[in-house]
Structure 1
Amino acid sequence: MTDKDNAALEHHSGVWPVMLTPFTDTLEIDWKSLERLIDWYIARGVHGLFANCQSSEMFFLSDEESLKLTKFVVDYTNGRVPVVASGHTASGLSHQAEQLQAQAGTGVDSVIMISNRLATADESPEVFVQRLKEMTAQIPQNVGVGLYECPYPYKRLLPDEAVKWCAESGRYTFIKDTCCNLDMLKRRAKLIEGSELHIANANGQTVLESLKAGCHGYSGVMANFHPQLWVWLVENWKSEPEKAEVLSQYLSSAALLESLDYPVCAKSFQKSIGNFTTELCRTRPIGGYYANHFPTNVEQTLALGDKLVELLGIEVK
């Protein structure tokens, strides 16, 4: 295999934050805050960006907003890192095809389909695979394709047949895996071995073991808090396995911050460091019980991570 082939295979490896969408006081997209967020991710060494996903509140954006959001991320990133995006939210298949084709025209590296859009919860895996093939044929050949097991409005895990077909098709580059099951991750890694398809694990508790099994990186919500630690883990777990084990234990525990009314807690953190002007979401109201825990829990958890980095003697961006 040539160096060029190796580069192509590694292109979708690493840490891919699931991007937040900042809003103004009137719940319009806050483009200046989004610029700061993109710069913040990249300064911390991430390998790519997953724009227009569930963390971006894509189900609460109009088609026009969705397209504008993806195009803005691609243009502002300006090739510093690759960008993949979804915006695949419609129910009707013809509308879905229109959404995916429009997203493909924004300059993204790959267009990401949402698994639960292709079949309802009561439809069979066979129906899902057939629709997957039909929808893939609707996407322009000049852009990569990916899949995301988005848990909203329901989680549809990929059957082995679909994973295998995607790997063999030559079209697929990226799976955002939310199965949270190490045995399944190991099986999927075997199914895609040698292909251009990459598995980005969203589950913080299984990332290190999934890397050992042949998966390719992390694309989860905690990259909105301390992406630099995930970058170090993904880049150094082979060369410094003892330190990686300790860091992984911390990251697994820190990932429990996700339970504090995400994405509000992540936006609250981004506001605290000066990237966002509000913590407003379209998906849920701010305030309530959990809001009282954001500042102290997030601050102390991240401070512990900084201390651990110091104790381990590792260098992060």
Structure 2
Amino acid sequence: MTSMSYTGAWPVAPTPFNDDGTLDLPGMRRVLDCIADQGADGICILANFSEQFLIADDERETLTRLCLEHIAGRVPVIVTISHYATQIAVARARLAKDLGASAVMMMPPYHGALLKGTPEQTFEQVARVGEVGIPIMIQDAPLSGVELPVPLLVRMAREIEMVKLFKIECAGAAAKLRRLIAEGGEAIEAPFDGEEGITMLADLDAGARGTMCSAMITEHIRSVVLDHLNGDRPAAAAGYQRLLPAVNHENRQCGFRAAKAAMVEGKVFASEFSRHPVPPLSPETRAELLDHLRPLEPVAMRWGH
């Protein structure tokens, strides 16, 4: 694929659970249908905002198969494969490819605060995954605690054929995106941002071509990206300003629980349950979120009514 294939809004699909903590598989199918109806340009599954750190290995395989079978090519799907062990990351990438995923996303190898891959080990892991033959999105996220300097990212883009996408969501993302694009040139096929789009306007100004947001207000996020890509920055800025209170509340107060709350309101699935030790949203925080969302009339809050 070329960089033009990777633009717009690629939301992370939330993972619904039943109130007893089991996977809500019918709800997962409804999540995918809702995101498709939002007009998403692609979908990412099993990411941090999918609560991947609360999901067992056998459940990951179940969800990977279910999602790719249910989407059935309607939109491209990126499967998150991050793991400290290179062998496991490679196996996850191979499964994703075999099931028809369009790409995989991976953070650098890390486990907790102290087990972190060196730059060379990170490069080696990505190269091993690249041998599987599926496009790779490198996720530069604070959660890993691993620094990914621009020269390392550029080296990956130039030397590992499958490294095509970059999700930059570290502090100062716009400055890093601008430098990455300047130093990497044509090798940087698809620069994205993340963090629910909270710095999206600055990141688009810096050259981002897409965003990996949550599934809370995908259609509105996408409009901002497309306005900017079409050269209408005033419209993009106006749209961004309209969305910012909701996105800020999501990013700073709710995290991945925001999209779940919106979708429960929209009867996409029934329960906002997250596995322990994640606490539920407080009633006040949830009410404030919905107050921000109602004027936007998001698809997620209307879909099942």
Q: TM-score, normalised by structure 1?
A: 0.83
1:138 Cα deviation after fit: 4.2
In structure 2, what is the Cα distance between the partners aligned to 1:101 and 1:135?
A: 13
For residue 162 of structure 1, what is the amino acid of its counterpart? L
In structure 1, what is the Cα distance between the partners aligned to 2:31 and 2:184?
A: 33
Structure 1 residues 74 and 283, CA, compared in 2 at 3 Å: closer, same or farther?
farther
Residue 57 of structure 1 aligns with which residue? 51
Residue among 107, 111, 132 paired with 2:104? 111
Determine if the alignment matches structure 1 residue 97 to structure 2 residue 90: yes
Residue 249 of structure 1 aligns with which residue? 241
For residue 100 of structure 1, what is the amino acid of its counterpart? A
3-state SS of 2:292 partner? helix
Identity %: 19
**Aligned ranges 1:214-253 → 2 under 5 Å:** 214-221=207-214, 224-237=215-228, 238-253=230-245
Query: Which string of whole-angstrom CA distances, capped at 9 and with x for unpartnered residues, describes residues 94-125 of structure 1?
Result: 3333333333332211122212439975768x
Question: How many residues are aligned here?
Answer: 293
1:54, 1:150 within 8 Å by CA — same for their partners in 2? no
2:85, 2:109 within 8 Å by CA — same for their partners in 1? no
Residue 162 of structure 1 aligns with which residue? 152
Structure 1 residues 123 and 26, CA, compared in 2 at 3 Å: closer, same or farther?
closer
For residue 254 of structure 1, what is the amino acid of its counterpart? A
In structure 2, what is the Cα distance between the partners aligned to 1:250 and 1:155?
A: 32
3-state SS of 1:156 partner? coil
Residue 188 of structure 1 aligns with which residue? 180
2:86, 2:128 within 8 Å by CA — same for their partners in 1? no
For residue 243 of structure 2, what is the amino acid of its counterpart? L
In structure 2, what is the Cα distance between the partners aligned to 1:225 and 1:135?
A: 30
RMSD: 2.5
Structure 1 residues 30 and 122, CA, compared in 2 at 3 Å: closer, same or farther?
closer
Residue 265 of structure 2 aligns with which residue? 272
3-state SS of 1:18 partner? coil
3-state SS of 1:46 partner? coil
Structure 1 residues 281 and 151, CA, compared in 2 at 3 Å: closer, same or farther?
farther
Q: Which moved more, 1:13-22 or 1:277-286?
A: 277-286
Q: TM-score, normalised by structure 2?
A: 0.86
Q: Name stretches of at least 5 consecutive residues in structure 1 with no aligned partner.
A: 1-6, 308-317
Residue 302 of structure 2 aligns with which residue? none
Structure 1 residues 248 and 21, CA, compared in 2 at 3 Å: closer, same or farther?
same
In structure 1, what is the Cα distance between the partners aligned to 2:10 and 2:151?
A: 25
1:18, 1:53 within 8 Å by CA — same for their partners in 2? yes
1:306 Cα deviation after fit: 4.9
